[in-house]
């Protein structure tokens, strides 16, 4: 069921440094890797955060996949370490291809259309690589995206049939639904025509000084579907398009990793 809440806006944008000084015994580690995607013949770099050994066996940990990784990686790491959330973070750098990879061609950006291939890369190539190299529980994957990235999260949600979702939880922050209204509604309508259940967790958040109107309207549509097995929460935060991301992420991740509705 939809829960429409208002909250205080978060801070500024991401991409900040993690700061100097020696890491504490309870700090995680960072690595940078790259992978050549067969799905779209593109090489993607990505940053990986691994929690400290005290988090327990890595094979049992959730894995958070973050879009626009160059903007949000350090923000996410700071939040999970401050909250002692034990999660592997994989932050995918866009390489300037976010308008191609995240969304179809739309009224805001016309160079789209690569979202299907990008999803194939994440679920068919990147996720297996992460789990075989670093660990992580395939049953606890989380996908995070902001703006066009939030639009991609919604595409990924409806592009997969029940029982075959690549992610357990989907975090869409201030998605650019207004740029591609017919496409987003079309994804949901096609899914609803074929399936009565949506067995995932969805946190749909938006900014009062951003894309809240389009996101709230879409959230009402989802709520009225009464999808079986869907844990859904919608929140509007007081703040700007980018400014709400830290709080939306922090609360969205807590919702994603929860076991109840």
> 89: number of CA atoms within 13 Å, CB side?
31
Distance CA 210, CA 180 (A): 15
pLDDT reading at 258 higher than 60? yes
Instruction: State the pLDDT confidence band at 15, using cuts at 50, 70 and 90.
Output: very low
- Residue 24 is predicted with a pLDDT of 52
pLDDT reading at 25 higher than 60? no
pLDDT tens, 49-104?
999 988 789 999 999 999 999 999 999 999 999 999 999 999 999 999 999 999 99
- Residue 49 is predicted with a pLDDT of 98
SS3 261: coil
The first and second tokens of residue 101, run together, are 């990879």
To 5 degrees, how large is the angle CA 58–CA 63–CA 67?
145
- Residue 201 is predicted with a pLDDT of 98
The first and second tokens of residue 134, run together, are 């670093």
Q: Does domain 4-257 have CATH number 3.30.60.50?
A: no
- Stretch 187-193: mean pLDDT: 98
Q: The pTM is what? A: 0.90
Chain position carrying tokens 């994603």: 256
The first and second tokens of residue 171, run together, are 């975090």
- Residue 235 is predicted with a pLDDT of 98
- Residue 54 is predicted with a pLDDT of 82
Taking alpha carbons only, the member of 200, 212, 196 closest to residue 244 is 212
- Stretch 233-255: mean pLDDT: 98
Let me know: does 216 contact 234? Beta carbons within 8 Å. yes
Taking alpha carbons only, the member of 90, 70, 69, 77 closest to residue 23 is 77
Instruction: State the pLDDT confidence band at 3, using cuts at 50, 70 and 90.
Output: very low
- Stretch 167-188: mean pLDDT: 98
Q: What percent of the chain has a predicted confidence (pLDDT) above 90?
A: 87
Taking alpha carbons only, the member of 216, 204, 214 closest to residue 244 is 204
- Stretch 125-148: mean pLDDT: 98
Kindly give the interhelix angle for 181-194 and 212-225, rounded to the nearest 10 degrees: 10
Let me know: does 18 contact 77? Beta carbons within 8 Å. yes
User: Where in the chain are the domains?
Assistant: 4-257
DSSP class of residue 186? H
């Amino acid at each position: 069921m939809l829960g429409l809440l208002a909250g205080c806006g978060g801070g500024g944008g991401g991409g900040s440094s993690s700061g100097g000084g020696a890491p504490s015994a309870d700090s995680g580690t960072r690595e940078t890797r790259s992978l050549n995607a067969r799905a779209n013949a593109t090489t993607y770099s990505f940053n990986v955060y691994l929690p400290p050994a005290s988090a327990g066996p890595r094979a049992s940990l959730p894995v958070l996949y973050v879009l626009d990784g160059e903007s949000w990686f350090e923000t996410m790491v700071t939040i999970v370490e401050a909250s002692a959330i034990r999660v592997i973070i994989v932050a995918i750098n866009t390489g300037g291809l976010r308008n191609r990879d995240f969304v179809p061609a739309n009224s805001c950006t016309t160079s789209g259309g690569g979202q299907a291939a990008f999803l194939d890369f994440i679920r068919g190539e990147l996720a297996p690589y992460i789990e075989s190299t670093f660990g992580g529980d395939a049953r606890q994957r989380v996908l995070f995206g902001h703006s066009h990235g939030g639009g991609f999260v919604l595409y990924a949600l409806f592009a997969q049939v029940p029982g075959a979702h690549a992610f357990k939880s989907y975090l869409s922050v201030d998605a650019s639904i207004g740029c591609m209204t017919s496409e987003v509604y079309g994804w949901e309508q096609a899914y609803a025509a074929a399936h009565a259940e949506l067995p995932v967790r969805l946190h749909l958040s938006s900014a009062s000084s951003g894309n809240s109107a389009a996101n709230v309207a879409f959230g009402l549509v989802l709520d009225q579907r009464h999808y079986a097995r869907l844990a859904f929460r919608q929140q509007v935060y007081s703040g700007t398009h980018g400014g709400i991301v830290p709080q939306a992420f922090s609360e969205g991740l807590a919702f994603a990793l929860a076991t109840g509705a």
